[in-house]
Each structure stands twice: as structure tokens, then as C-alpha cells.
Chain A
Amino acid sequence: MGTTIASAGTGARYWLTLSIGVMALSASMTAAAAGTPVGTVIQNTATVNFDLGGAPVMLQSNVTTITVVERVDVAVTLQSPQTVVAPNDTNRALLFTVTNLGNGSETFTLAIDSVLTGDDFDPQPSATSIYFDTDGSGDLNVGDQPYAAGTNDPVLAADASVDVFIVNDIPGTVTNGDLGDSRLIATSATGSGAPGTVYAGQGDGGVDAVIGTSGGEQQADGEYLVSDVAISVNLAQNVSDPFGGATPVPGATVTYTITIEVTSSGTATTSVVRDPIPAYTTFVPGSITVNSAALSDVADGDAGEYDTTGAPMIVVRLGNLTQADGVQTVSYQVTID
């Protein structure tokens, strides 16, 4: 049904969002087009027209020639949002896109670096720490191919890109709210270094390769957020049809009951339940309750409302929850259209 529970770790502004897959940020590559193909030859001749004693004359200059050689450039873009993890989690993936911004075909070597400064803990690269998103799902799955340096270094044509995961385990010693960063580095196999460095004859077709502004090597950092507050959520539905039975027919009333419970230590701060009204149903006005207390449909001072600003949904705010608060029950009703 797409119910979401959003809450924050202790005393912080973080969000713990359940039942949602990795949000892939749209990789809107700016128009950094690869440019004129390697090996293109550009010739130029100037023409002069003039009159001499009234008679027209035309002359041409010499021909100048320039040859387009290869520029080596790469970009690495983070796709994953801040990824929520728990202590002792294994094989937690962060998704990146590696793009060949040069004008020739290029091979790139990939590397992971999780020992970065400025964060609270170092993620531990998993046994296999780099994968290609072979099935294009945005999630690390069985169908995704492991990367092995020197064996399957990605070869990208000009402007082409490949999606890559870096994969880490989370140590057991982290605490709620800790941040851990991990980096993907992509390096051009032709070479890297100061922009303008020339690798004579190393470009496509044996022309020179020149390092572009990216230096031929780029990196991006992803981030893990530790949240160790465990929340248990359950959904139940109860159908009551107009004929005294429980058949889901038009006109039947469905009562949805959502129970939420914090099952670990710690506090889930600012918890909010949002449940979209299912398609082909109509919300029953006045039917929202939290822990058996009725809530008004409008957005007023109480804990919840029927929100129609976007897709219609129930919104109930549960505040800060701990294990001691026990089970919270939110319910509402719809009729089947």
C-alpha cells in the first residue's frame, strides 16, 4: 500500500524511512558533449577576390590542417541519497554513475576508499566491494556483476556511462546518528594528471591523448547514516459489505488498522504515519482514529488529518516514540467505489 513511517533518530534531524527502495536521483547530465571525434582533420583555405585593371581575379591561400586528438575526461556522480543502515549490516550498497566526458573511447579503472576523514566511522568494504548495476535496477541484486580490476575495467565510448555500486559492511561499534562516508574513484587507463598533459600516440587510432580539466581521474563520496531504532509496523484490513458479510464489493466499507511499535532502545523522534487512500475507494469522513481517539479530518491542532493537497492520504503525527510507549494504533475507513 505504500505506507510510510518517517521518524528521526535521537535528538537529530535525520529521517528513518521504511518500506521504500533506494531513490535514484535523476542523473541529469549537463550537455558536456564529447565533442568532435578523434582523428577528424579540419582543413582551411582562404580565398581572395579582387579587381585588377577592371578584370576580376581570384586567388587561394595555402591549406592549413589541424587534427583532432583525444581529450581524456571523466565524471563520477553519486546517485544514492544518504543511506540508512544499522550496526552490523553487511553488503550495503551506494550507487554511482561513471561517465566518459572525453571525445574518444576510454578504459577506466575503479577503486573504493572508505577510510575518509570528516565522518564518524569508516565503513568496511565488503568482500566484493565494487559491482556494476548490470540489471539496471538501482539496487544491488544477484544479477549484478562484480568488478575485478584488470579483468573487467569498463570501456566507455565518448559520452557513454556505466552505473557502479560500492559496497560496505557497517561495524558493530557505531551508534545512532553516526555518519560514514565511502568513495568511488574512476581513473582513465590512458593516464591522469595535470590538465594539458600529453600522452603522445596514446589516443584512439594512435593520435595523441591530452588530459582534460578532470585530470583524467574523478571521485565522489556517498554516505551512510546509522539509525538503530527498530520500528515494527503492521497493516490489517477488515471488509464489511452491505449484506452483512466480508466481500469487497462496491459499497463495502474497509477499515484499515496500522500498528506501530518501537522494539529497540532509542527514540524515534517526530514519527509521522502517511497512508495514501487506495485507488477506487473513497475516504469515510471523520473515520481517522489514533489509539481509539477520533481525529478531525481538517488540518488543525490535533495529531492528524485527511490531506488532499496532493494525492489523498491520511497523515497522523505520533511524536517521539520509545519502546515504553508500546503499540500505537492508527485506523481509518474507506468505501469501495
Chain B
Amino acid sequence: MSDERIRNVLKALAAAILLFPAAGLLAQEQGHLSVKTVVQKEQVELDEAGNEKTVLVDAGKVVPGEHVVYTITFQNIGDEPAQNVVITNPVDANLTYIEGSAFGPGMDIQFSVDGGKTFASLDALTVTEDGTQRPAEAKDITQIRWVMHEDLAAGAQGIARFAAVLK
């Protein structure tokens, strides 16, 4: 075999070898989502012009009364669309959901006050307290969920976020 032909064969083999691991990865995660959560808190900083701006910083330590913001990012890292995508997140007993803070473009946002058994919009929920029924409030929320309107196409990303106060 001539040198040139050998080089070409080697190139072709190299290309094939490079392709195979990628194909193998794609095959394992085909249509899967990656999902990541971060928890942050708001901090007021001064920008270059000396103006106050609010930034989100990692929240490891918090004190009662502080606000924390949970952000869930997800991506379809497969090559098939994911259908009926629903993100669900509990609200810890030591946290109180901040009304109006739930955010998720392209998604319906619903709440549960019964530990995740049923979900609805906040104004459709009621709780029973001391034997009487009353409309549910932010403090009653035990779970939040975000329901995508559309399929999550291959390669597409989404974001869901909410804020809560540490009791």
C-alpha cells in the first residue's frame, strides 16, 4: 500500500473512531433531558457607574427572613422531542413561597397544597383550617410544577424559577 493510501485509510479510520464514541453517547442519552438546579439569593451591588443593582449569588448560608431563588434549567440533549414535560419542585416546610415569583416561559404554572396529590392554579385552591374552608395562600403551598405547552425539541432548553422566604 502506498504512503498516501495508508494516510487516507488512517484518516478514514480516525474519523470513524472519533465518530463512534459520539454516536455511542448519543445512543445512550437519546431523547434524554439534562436538568440542573441552583439555589441563590439576591445581593445588592454597585455597578461601574456606582448605581445599585441586584444580582443573584450562590446561597449556601441563609438567615430567617432572607429570600432564596431556585432556578431549574433543563435541556433536551437527545435527538427526539420530549413530550408532556413537567418540572415539579417541592417547597420545603421551612420556606414560604413568594407569591408571583414562579417563572417559566412557555409553561403553565400550578401549585399544590396537599403534598403533591393535586395541582391547580393558586386561586382555584382551598385549604381547610380549624374546620372551615378558605382560599389557599402562598404560605400553604407545598409543591410547584411547570407544565410545558409544547414538546421540548431536540437541543432546546427551558428554565423554571421561583423565590421563597426562609421562615
**Hey, which bits of chain A sit against chain B, CB under 8 A?**
33-36, 40, 42-53, 57, 59-71, 103, 207-208, 210, 212
The residue from B33, B90, B94 contacting A36, defined by CB atoms under 8 A apart = B94
Cβ contacts under 8 Å, A40 to chain B = 94
Beyond A47-B88, A51-B84, is A207–B36 a contact (Cβ under 8 Å)? no
A49 touching B36 by the CB < 8 A rule?
no
Tell me whether B11 is interfacial, beta carbon within 8 Å: no
The residue from A42, A46, A59, A66 contacting B89, defined by CB atoms under 8 A apart = A46
Q: Which of B1-9, B45-53, B54-62 contacts A (4 or more CB under 8 A)?
A: B54-62
Per-position 1/0 for B122-147, Cβ under 8 A of A: 00000000000000000000000000
B82 touching A42 by the CB < 8 A rule?
no
Q: Which residues from 111 to 166 on chain B have a C-beta closer than 8 Å to any C-beta of chain A?
A: 152, 160, 166
B59 touching A66 by the CB < 8 A rule?
yes
B152 CB to closest chain A CB (Å) equals 7
Tell me whether B98 is interfacial, beta carbon within 8 Å: no
Beyond A44-B89, A52-B83, is A61–B35 a contact (Cβ under 8 Å)? yes
Cβ contacts under 8 Å, A52 to chain B = 31-32, 78, 80, 82-83
| 25 residue pairs bridging A and B, Cβ less than 8 Å apart | A33-B167, A35-B63, A35-B64, A36-B94, A42-B92, A46-B88, A47-B89, A48-B85, A48-B88, A50-B33, A50-B86, A50-B152, A51-B82, A52-B78, A52-B80, A59-B32, A62-B36, A65-B60, A66-B62, A67-B60, A67-B61, A67-B62, A69-B61, A71-B65, A208-B61
Measured in the bound complex, the distance between the Cα atoms of B92 and A75 in whole Å is 29
Measured in the bound complex, the distance between the Cα atoms of B63 and A35 in whole Å is 8
Tell me whether B102 is interfacial, beta carbon within 8 Å: no
**Hey, which bits of chain B sit against chain A, CB under 8 A?**
31-33, 35-39, 59-65, 68, 70, 72, 74, 78, 80, 82-90, 92, 94-95, 152, 160, 166-167
B61 touching A64 by the CB < 8 A rule?
no
Complex A-B, nearest 7 residue pairs according to Cβ-Cβ distance, in ascending order: A35-B64, A71-B63, A61-B37, A52-B31, A64-B39, A50-B82, A50-B85
Cβ contacts under 8 Å, A53 to chain B = 31, 80
Cβ contacts under 8 Å, A57 to chain B = 31-33, 82
B64 touching A59 by the CB < 8 A rule?
no
B37 touching A70 by the CB < 8 A rule?
no
A46 touching B37 by the CB < 8 A rule?
yes
B60 touching A48 by the CB < 8 A rule?
no
Measured in the bound complex, the distance between the Cα atoms of B166 and A34 in whole Å is 11
The residue from B31, B64, B152 contacting A68, defined by CB atoms under 8 A apart = B64
